[in-house]
Structure 1
C-alpha cells in the first residue's frame, strides 16, 4: 500500500472518518412503476463481479498490517454493500439530508472492501436518491466521481445499468467525459487538496531550487498585501477540535446565473463562487455573533494560466485566498478576492511546475497537524476552511433511463477544519455539498439560504 494511501487509514478515528461520499438524485423514467427502486437495487446487486480496486480491503490484522498492505476478498456480499432504504414521511429533502448525515459520520468496516451504496426511496416528489461513500485510501473525491460518471449515459434509452465496481468499466461512446465547468478565464477546476500530496514524490530534482523560490514567496508576502500566506487567518468556530457527528446539506445553483455575474464583474467563475461563499459565511457567523474583524481565508484551487491562454486542467495550484468576510459591499468583496487570487497566481506563475506543486503541498501541510493525537489548533489557523471542487458531467445524464437531477459531494471535516464546502459541476448547475461537525457548526443548513442570498446580492450589485 502506498504511504499516501496508508496515511488516511492511520489518521482515521471515530471522530475523524476518512471517506468521501456523494449524493445523487434521480427522476425515474416515464412509466416507472411502484417497484422501480427495488428493481434498481436488484440491478446493482446482479453485478456480482468486482474490479480489483473495489475488491480490496486492509490486510489482517486490520489495525497493524492493514495500515500498510492490501488484501483481496474472494467474494463480495452485495446485500451488505448495496443497501435499500426508505425515508420516513413526509419524505422531504430535509429528511434525506438527516439520513445522509448519519451515514456519512459512520466508519466503514475495514474487514470488508471499504465502500457502501445506499439506494433511498420515499421522497415526496417521487424521485429516488443514491448515497455512496468510499474510503479515501481507495480513491479520492475526483476519482470517485469519475467512476460514478463512467456508469452513466447521456442516452435516456440506455438500459445498461452499469455500476462503479464492475470490472473493465469503460465509457460508452455516447457518454461525455467528466470535465470541469467552462473556465471563463480561470473557472472551477478539477482538484482535491487532500490528494495533492500523492504527487510530490517526484520533487527531488527541484529541491535545491526551492530555497530561492521560498525566499521569493516570503518577499511577496511581505510586500504584496493581497497575497495570503498560511497562518494569517483569524480563529473562528470552524477552527476547533471536532467530534464524530456530522451534518450534511446541499443545494444547486444555476451556472448561467453565476456566469452572468462573472461577465458583468469581469471576474472568473471561481471568483464569484468564492464571493458567494464569503457572503454566506459572513451572514452565518454574524447571526451567531461569531464574525471576526479579520477576513476568513480558504484553501482553494486556482488556474495558473495567463488571461486568454487555453485552459489546461493540469495547470492548477492550491492557494490560500481571502473571502472578504470583513466587507459589507459585495462589489468590494469580489475585488479583494480577485486581488488575492491574482497575487497567488502571479507568485506561482514565476515558479516551475514542480515548485508550484511543492508550494501547494506546503499550503496543504497546514492540515497535517490534525492527524496527530491530542492536537489542539493554534490560535491562528493556517486557513479557516477548504473550498474545493470536482469535475462532473457537462450535459444531461441518465442511469438505466432515470434522469440524474443532482450530484452533491460529501467530503471530509478535519480537526481544526470543522466545515468543508465542495462544489461539483453538473450540466448547467453548480452543486454545493457542505459537510460540518454537528457540534461545532450549529444550524449549518442556514448556509444554504445565505448562499442564495449572497448570489442574489451579487446579481443586484452588478446589474
Structure 2
C-alpha cells in the first residue's frame, strides 16, 4: 500500500456531496471528411480494447481493517473499463445547450471511491458533424492542467494520423515542471517547497511585513460579500464558449496591456453585468485570485515550479470599460512587481499566505461569518498553438471545468487553443442562477472593450 501524500489528502478529506473534488474537461471534435455515422461507435470500440492502465488510472483510496480510510492508495489489477468509459447520445436535435446540461449533471456527481477515480464519456448526437468527450478525474490524482496536457498528448498535429491513443495508457511524461498557472499546480508547488520555506521563516516574516504593509499588496479578506461567496449545494451548472484570440490581441495592442489583462477585463465586465442583472452588484470592486507564473526571462528554461497567486482588483465598481481595463492592468502589474522583487522561496511563502483562505472553507461558520478572501478564481492556462486531431477528428473546443466550493461558487478557467480562447465556467446551480448568461455578458464585455480602446 502506498501512503497518500498530505497534499493529495487535502482533496480527499475536503470532499463532500456539496464539494466534489474532481476536475473535468469538455472537448468538442469535428468529424473528419468522409467519416460515416458509425465513427464514434468505432472510436469507442477501439478505446475499450486499450487495457494497459498506468498507475494513476488504477488507484483509489484503500480502506484498512477496522474501517480506517484515506490513509493509503490501493491499485486495481482489473479495471472495469466498461464502467469508466461510457458512450452517450443527446436527444434529437442535439443542441449544444443539451450537451452543457448533460455535462452539468455529470460534473456535479461524486466519483466512486471504491473504483479508480476517473470517468470518460463519449457523447454523440451533436449538430454540424460534431461529437464531444467529457472527462473527470479526482484532484488527488492529478491537477486540472496536467489532465488537459495528458489529453493533449493523445492528439496529433497530423490530420491523417488515425492511431487511437487513450489517456489512461500513456506513460508519464518527463517534465521540467515549469508551472502552468493553475490553482492545483500552485497548491502542489507550495507543498513541494514547504520544507524549504520553513527553513527561511525569519526572512519570510520580514518579507510579509514589507510586502503587506509597505508595498500595499492586495490582501485577502478585503473583498465585498456577494451572491458568489456564500455556501453552496452539490449540483453544478457549466457554461462554455470560445473567442478568437485576434480580438483579444487587438485590444491588448491598442491599450498597451497584456492578454491576461484583457481576459480579466472581459470577466470583470461580465461579472458586473451579471450582478447588476441580479440586483446584487456591491459598491466595492470584486477581487479575483489569479494564478500566475513567477518565472522571469532569465530562468525561462530552468526546471521546477514557479507558480504564484496574486489578488487583482477587477474594478467592477467602474462603469467605463477602458478605465476598468487600466485599473486591472495596474493592479496586476503592481502585485506581480512585489513577487518579482522577492527570492523564489519567499515568493512561494507569500503565495501560500494569499492562497491559504481556500483551506478555511471546511471550518464551520467561516464562510458565513467572515468577509470573502476574494470573490472568484480566474485561471488562464496555455494550450496547444496549432490545430490538433484525434483519429483525424479536429479538436474544435477544449473547455476546462474546475471546482466550486463554499465561498467560491463560481470558477472561470480558460485555455488557449490554437487561434481561440476556450472559456469553461463552473458554478453552483442553486446559488448562481442563470450561470449561462455569463457567456453573453463576456461577449458584450469584449465588444465594449473593442469600442472603448480600438476606436
1:402 to 393, 403, 424: 393
Counterparts of 1:327 and 1:418, CA distance in 2:
23
- The yes-or-no answer on 1:209 pairing with 2:214 is no
Q: Superposed, which structure 2 residues align to 1:59-458 within 5 Å?
A: 59-61=62-64, 65-168=68-171, 190-200=180-190, 201=194, 202-220=196-214, 224=216, 227-304=217-294, 315-373=306-364, 375-458=366-449
Instruction: Say which of 17, 29, 34 aligns to 1:14.
Output: 17
Find the residue that maps to 2:227 and give its secondary structure: coil
Equivalent residue pairs, number: 445
Check whether the contact 1:236–1:384 (CA below 8 A) recurs between aligned residues.
yes
In the alignment, the residues of structure 1 paired with residue 207 and residue 172 of structure 2 have an alpha-carbon distance, to the nearest angstrom, of 43
TM-score by length of 2: 0.93
Please report how far the alpha carbon of residue 371 of structure 1 lies from its aligned counterpart in structure 2 after TM superposition: 2.2
Tell me how far apart the structure 1 counterparts of residues 383 and 168 of structure 2 sit (CA, whole Å): 19
Contact 2:181 2:293 in 1 (8 A): no
Matched-pair contact (CA < 8 Å) for 1:319–1:360: yes
Work out the CA distance in 1 between the residues paired with 2:239 and 2:301.
Answer: 31
Normalised TM-score (structure 1): 0.92
Specify the alignment match of 1:23 in structure 2: 26
Encode CA deviations 1:81-139: one digit per residue, 9 max, x unaligned.
00000001221110000000000000000010000000000012220000000000000
Q: Secondary structure at the match of 1:30?
A: coil
Summarize the Cα distance change of 1:305–1:217 in structure 2 as closer, same or farther, 3 Å threshold: same
Shift of 1:302: 3.2
Query: Structure 1 CA distance, aligned partners of 2:181 and 2:80?
Result: 33
Residue 39 of structure 2 corresponds to: 36
| Cα distance, 1:317 vs structure 2 | 2.1
- 1:435-457, CA deviations, whole angstroms, 9 ceiling, x for partnerless residues? 00001100011100000010111
Structure-1 separation of matches of 2:177 and 2:159: 20
Paired with 2:268 and 2:288, the residues of 1 have a C-alpha distance of: 9
Residue pair 1:142, 1:190 contacting (<8 A) in 2 also: yes
Q: Which moved more, 1:92-101 or 1:343-352?
A: 343-352
Unpaired runs of 5+ residues, structure 2, are none
Residue 363 of structure 1: how far off its partner (Å): 1.0
Q: Does 1:459 align with 2:450?
A: yes
On the 8 A contact 2:59/2:76 being kept in 1, the answer is yes
- Structure 2 residue matching 1:286: 3-state secondary structure: helix
Question: How far 1:379 sits from its partner (Å)?
Answer: 4.1
Q: Helix, strand or coil: the match of 1:337?
A: helix
Q: 1:351 to 1:258 in 2, by over 3 A?
A: same
Alpha-carbon shift at residue 192 of structure 1 (Å): 1.6
**Cα deviation per residue 1:337-367 (whole Å; 9 max; x = unaligned)?**
1111111112112211111111111111111
Counterpart Cα distance in 2 of 1:365 and 1:170: 30
Q: Is the 8 A contact 1:23 1:131 kept in 2?
A: yes
Q: CA deviation at 1:169?
A: 6.2
Deviation at 1:220, TM superposition (A): 3.1
Compute the displacement of 1:260 (Å).
1.1
Q: CA RMSD in A?
A: 2.2
Question: 2:6 matched to which residue of 1?
Answer: 3
Distance in 1, Cα, partners of 2:38 & 2:135: 21
Q: Secondary structure at the match of 2:405?
A: coil
Alignment check: 8 A CA contact 2:180 2:293 kept: no
1:194–1:364 contact (8 Å) kept in structure 2: no
- Summarize the Cα distance change of 1:26–1:208 in structure 2 as closer, same or farther, 3 Å threshold: same
Q: 1:24 to 1:30 in 2, by over 3 A?
A: same
